[in-house]
Amino acid sequence: MRRTRKIILSIAGAAVLAVSGTMAAIAWGHGYNSDPPSRSALCASGAVADCGAISYEPQSVEGPKGFPAAGPADGELCAGGNAPFAELDDPRGGNWPTTSVSAGPRTFTWTMTVAHSTATFDYYITNANYDPTRPLTRDQLDLTPFASFAMGGAQPDHSMTHTVTLPQRSGQQLIFGVWVIADTANAFYSCIDVDFGGGGSGPGPEPTDPPTTPGGGGGEACDAGAWSASAVYNGGDEVTHNGTSYRASWWTTGEEPGTTGEWGVWRAVTTC
């Protein structure tokens, strides 16, 4: 009888430890955008006060994946739908610290505490509807990522860096980073406040005609290979097509340069 009781207590103790370990893994989450600093990073560094629980676990903004069709509800995007991190959804009157940026190449870095098997890293940006004084909602975002990095289930390094091409914008904007996990139903979310300068918000001025180089020829941009309908291109890749060089703003295949419109994936660089 005494031996049976010891066995039961041992099993119960092991169960408690297993549940406690699982809860700790959930509570302490696994990654956040650290450069440019996300709202989570700003809270963790003490650059922003009165942040609540996120100050101690910036890597924990985990919520259901499937954005934009699914995922966190509008108004809860920055917190990943987590009520304990609601401070991240508070626009603070539009006064979150911003990082100065400009259109073109920019490096974004994630800091990881757990290297999950990864599907993609996706980056979205606000549109002409963006109001920094309102909580973030889908209607304030371009719902096609301007940059996306597929990893096919591979695990990221402790520090994960991406070079993206920021689109034209002006004034205060927000970049919404989504780390999509491959082998769970969740993703991690980062809201990054930036300022393109020039005042206002929304897309910047309409693109002008591609610049020309005296005597024809567009320099190194025109040395890029010819566009192929069957090739896969990532953000920042350059091609030539019908006498013009183009740069991809995000992952694409089969989309012909010169036909995707002013807010499409291909941006004209120069005539060749």
Q: Is residue 261 part of a domain?
A: yes
Last residue of a domain, one of 195, 229, 263: 195
The CATH code of the domain that includes 227 is 2.10.10.20
How large is the average pLDDT for residues 137-161?
Answer: 92
4 confidence band (pLDDT: 50, 70, 90): very low
List the Cα angle 237/239/240 in 5-degree steps: 160
Residue 200, pLDDT above cutoff 70: no
Look at residue 7 in the predicted model and tell me its pLDDT: 42
Residues 237 and 156 in one domain: no
Give me the residues paired with residue 248 across strands: 266
Q: Is residue 35 part of a domain?
A: yes
CB atoms within 10 A of CB 223: 12
Q: Is residue 252 part of a domain?
A: yes
Look at residue 52 in the predicted model and tell me its pLDDT: 94
Least confident of 88-97, 176-185, 260-269: 260-269
Residues 45 and 129 in one domain: yes
Domains in the chain: how many in total? Answer: 2
The CATH code of the domain that includes 187 is 2.70.50.50
Kindly provide the residue ranges of all beta strands, DSSP E only, lying in the chain, ordered along the sequence: 31-35, 62-64, 99-100, 104-112, 118-125, 147-150, 159-166, 172-181, 186-195, 232-233, 238-241, 244-248, 252-253, 266-271
The more confident residue out of 229 and 209 is: 229
Q: Is residue 109 part of a domain?
A: yes
How large is the average pLDDT for residues 12-31?
Answer: 42
Kindly provide the residue ranges of all beta strands, DSSP E only, lying in 95-224, ordered along the sequence: 99-100, 104-112, 118-125, 147-150, 159-166, 172-181, 186-195
The more confident residue out of 31 and 74 is: 74
Q: Is residue 14 part of a domain?
A: no
Look at residue 220 in the predicted model and tell me its pLDDT: 65
Look at residue 24 in the predicted model and tell me its pLDDT: 34
Residue 189, pLDDT above cutoff 60: yes
How large is the average pLDDT for residues 222-247?
Answer: 86
How large is the average pLDDT for residues 147-160?
Answer: 89
3-state helix, strand, coil in the chain (%, to 5): 20, 30, 50
The more confident residue out of 262 and 33 is: 33
CB proximity list for 30: less than 8 A, separation 6 or greater = 59, 60, 62, 112, 113, 114, 116, 188
Residues 223 and 172 in one domain: no
Q: Is residue 88 part of a domain?
A: yes
Residues 36 and 142 in one domain: yes
Look at residue 201 in the predicted model and tell me its pLDDT: 55
Which of helix, strand or coil describes residue 235? coil
Residues 139 and 33 in one domain: yes
The more confident residue out of 2 and 269 is: 269
Residues 264 and 155 in one domain: no
Residue 214, pLDDT above cutoff 70: no
Look at residue 199 in the predicted model and tell me its pLDDT: 63
The more confident residue out of 260 and 256 is: 256
CB proximity list for 67: less than 8 A, separation 6 or greater = 77, 122, 178, 187, 189
Residue 207, pLDDT above cutoff 50: no
Average pLDDT value over all residues in the chain = 82
Residues 39 and 125 in one domain: yes
184/102 Cα distance (integer angstroms)? 35
The more confident residue out of 250 and 1 is: 250
- C-beta separation of 147 from 167 below 8 A: no
Look at residue 124 in the predicted model and tell me its pLDDT: 97
Which of helix, strand or coil describes residue 172? strand
100/90 Cα distance (integer angstroms)? 21
Residues 109 and 227 in one domain: no
Residues 36 and 163 in one domain: yes
Longest dimension (CA), the chain: 98
Residues 135 and 254 in one domain: no
Residue 166, pLDDT above cutoff 50: yes
Q: Is residue 230 part of a domain?
A: yes
Cis peptide before 211 (omega within 30 of 0): no
Look at residue 212 in the predicted model and tell me its pLDDT: 42
> Which residues span the domain enclosing 54?
26-195
The amino acid that residue 179 corresponds to is W
How large is the average pLDDT for residues 209-222?
Answer: 50
Look at residue 65 in the predicted model and tell me its pLDDT: 95
Dihedral-angle region of residue 255 (phi above 0 means left; psi in -120 to 50 means alpha; beta otherwise): beta
Whether pTM exceeds 0.75: no
Residues 38 and 160 in one domain: yes
Q: Is residue 205 part of a domain?
A: no
Residues 76 and 189 in one domain: yes
- 30, two tokens: 């696994």
How large is the average pLDDT for residues 124-143?
Answer: 96
